[in-house]
Amino acid sequence: MTTSTRAPLPTPEQDVQRDLVAPILDWYDEHARDLPWRRPEATPWSVLVSELMLQQTPVSRVLAVHEAWLQRWPTPAALAAEPSGEAVRAWGRLGYPRRALRLHAAAVAITTEHGGEVPADHAALLALPGVGEYTAAAVAAFAFGQRQVVLDTNVRRVLARTVTGTELPPRSLTRAERDLGAALLPADPPTAATWSVAVMELGALVCVAERPRCEQCPVRDACAWQLAGAPSYDGPPRRVQTYAGTDRQCRGRLLAVLRETEGSVDKARLDVVWDDDVQRERALASLLADGLAVLTDEGRYALP
């Protein structure tokens, strides 16, 4: 009985590795943006700051704030030494200012529990205040070169189109997406970390949500969505976020007054920035509840 020397047939995962991973890595080598948190000299603290700032906020708005933040607070200990209100003030108009409080709380935890150094361990990162599964994986991969499944909106969209043939991913992260992300990770940790940022970059620059630039895509010929004729999304309706006239806009107006004022302000200063009394009082109460504003003993309002 003879034994065959024929190589085993490639698995579907190996096919995807060959058709997607290598071309996207090559594309990234040529098209990666020069961002401060990606440079060789970037510290893990710079990476952590960038990841929290980039949540629901485009790179163009983050760059200047990230630079100013790192100049003022180059280490977690430097930020931890200041009141949390200074973090809110420096956050400026990035939006979702509770992220500033979370970053301050993380800096305090890093200083008191990790000797002032951002931990490399994924579980320790996940235990930091305000750090969820995505952020912990991203920092472990991008700051420490670890092999982690990093799934943000851009990555999920690229994988949905190229592998599963759907225009958009599910509204909530699924186990199937996690398994797919894990299957695509190169075995070598530094290469896996580069892959994670490369596919994210492809989603940010080419495989965008609306009007994707498919003619520029390095894996267009292997993309399941393109091969299926680019069918339109037919899942549950996507909620379109609005801003004008919302409580979120009102909160932003009130918070802007507090950020721009050293010390405290009286209620009259806040009342003039929004006409709807009921909505303004509701927004102000929510700022107090979230710890973004405090009521002083003199009945005035200030940053924490």
Token pair 């906020």 in the structure block, residue: 57
CA 251, chain centre distance (Å): 22
Q: Which of 13, 30, 41, 51 is catalytic?
A: 51
**Residue 51 catalytic?**
yes
Task: Report the distance separating Cα 74 and Cα 43, nearest Å.
Answer: 9
Task: Report the distance separating Cα 286 and Cα 28, nearest Å.
Answer: 43
Catalytic residues: 51
